[in-house]
């Protein structure tokens, strides 16, 4: 069935009152000694998550920084923005098939966000505290595990609007793109902060927040 024009009018530009600007201000004003912003566009099998894990471990163990003196932000836009959404969204909108991501448990296109859950389970019960042990929190490169170590994920509203159009066309949905955007907003994984424009957010993180910039 072809897409219809029913539903909310597209909101291509967020105003300040439309999002949780105060939460972003907290990130900008973080007192951490080392602040790092990862600018990520491509999924590349989630390798950026391993990079973030290495940043945290290197700063803490290698350079001796206390945990409370580190703040890492993952600015996800482009295709990798889909990692900000939960299993329900991945299943309903066939995200795995769209992005050619297979579920290692089934071998089929992923109908869940395979990058989110920790191997330690939802309660994060790690059997080891040894940083060299693969089963410790220090080697956990899942989104859930990294969030537990203080990493903050950002999602781009502009990317949502563009991706919603693609999904409506790809799946021949009887929905307006803005309805898909509403589904995205309702199904972000816990802890994700949606910003109006990621390229603008990164500029602020760099210039006002004094975050070092890295793209992977």
Query: Residue 144: which domain range?
Result: 43-121+136-215
Q: 168 lies in a domain?
A: yes
* Sequential pLDDT tens for the chain (216 residues): 333 344 456 677 888 888 899 999 999 999 999 999 999 999 999 999 999 999 999 999 999 999 999 999 999 999 999 999 999 999 999 999 999 999 999 999 999 999 999 999 999 999 999 999 999 999 999 999 999 999 999 999 999 999 999 999 999 999 999 999 999 999 999 999 999 999 999 999 999 999 999 998
> Which tokens go with 58?
């290197």
Q: How far apart are the first and last CA of the chain?
A: 39
Strand partners of residue 74: 38, 153
Distance of CA 214 to the CA centre of its chain: 16
Tell me, yes or no, whether 14 lies in a domain: no
Q: How far is CA 66 from the centre of its chain?
A: 24
46 in Cβ contact with 216 (< 8 Å): no
CA 51 to chain centre: 14
Residues in Cβ contact with 161 at an 8 Å cutoff, skipping those fewer than 6 apart: 10, 11, 12, 177, 178, 181
Instruction: Give the ranges where 140-215 is alpha helix by DSSP (H).
Output: 143-148, 157-171, 177-186, 198-207
68 in any annotated domain: yes
pTM of the model: 0.92
Note whether residue 184 is domain-resident: yes
The dihedral over CA atoms of 79, 84, 88, 91, expressed in degrees to the nearest 10, equals 20
Q: How many domains does the chain have?
A: 1
Pick from 181, 178, 168, 190: which is nearest to 98 by CA? 168
The reply to whether 60 falls in a domain is yes
d(C-alpha 131, C-alpha 115), whole Å: 21
Q: How far apart are CA 125 and CA 118, in angstroms?
A: 10
């Amino acid at each position: 069935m072809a897409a219809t024009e029913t539903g909310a009018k597209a909101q291509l530009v967020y105003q300040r009152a439309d999002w949780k600007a105060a939460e972003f201000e907290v990130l900008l004003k973080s007192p951490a000694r080392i602040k790092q912003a990862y600018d990520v566009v491509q999924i590349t099998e989630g390798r950026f998550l391993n990079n973030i894990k290495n940043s945290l471990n290197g700063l803490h163990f290698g350079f001796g920084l206390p945990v409370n003196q580190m703040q890492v932000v993952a600015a996800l836009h482009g295709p990798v923005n889909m990692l900000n959404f939960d299993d329900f969204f991945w299943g309903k909108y066939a995200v795995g098939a769209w992005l050619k991501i297979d579920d290692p448990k089934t071998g089929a296109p992923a109908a869940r966000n395979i990058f989110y859950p920790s191997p330690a389970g939802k309660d994060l019960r790690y059997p080891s505290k040894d940083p060299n042990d693969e089963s410790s929190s220090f080697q956990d490169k899942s989104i859930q595990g990294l969030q537990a170590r203080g990493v903050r994920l950002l999602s781009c509203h502009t990317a949502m609007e563009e991706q919603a159009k693609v999904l409506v066309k790809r799946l021949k949905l009887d929905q307006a793109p803005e309805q898909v955007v509403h589904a995205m907003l309702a199904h972000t994984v816990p802890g994700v902060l949606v910003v109006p424009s990621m390229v603008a957010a990164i500029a602020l993180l760099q210039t006002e927040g004094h975050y070092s910039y890295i793209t992977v």
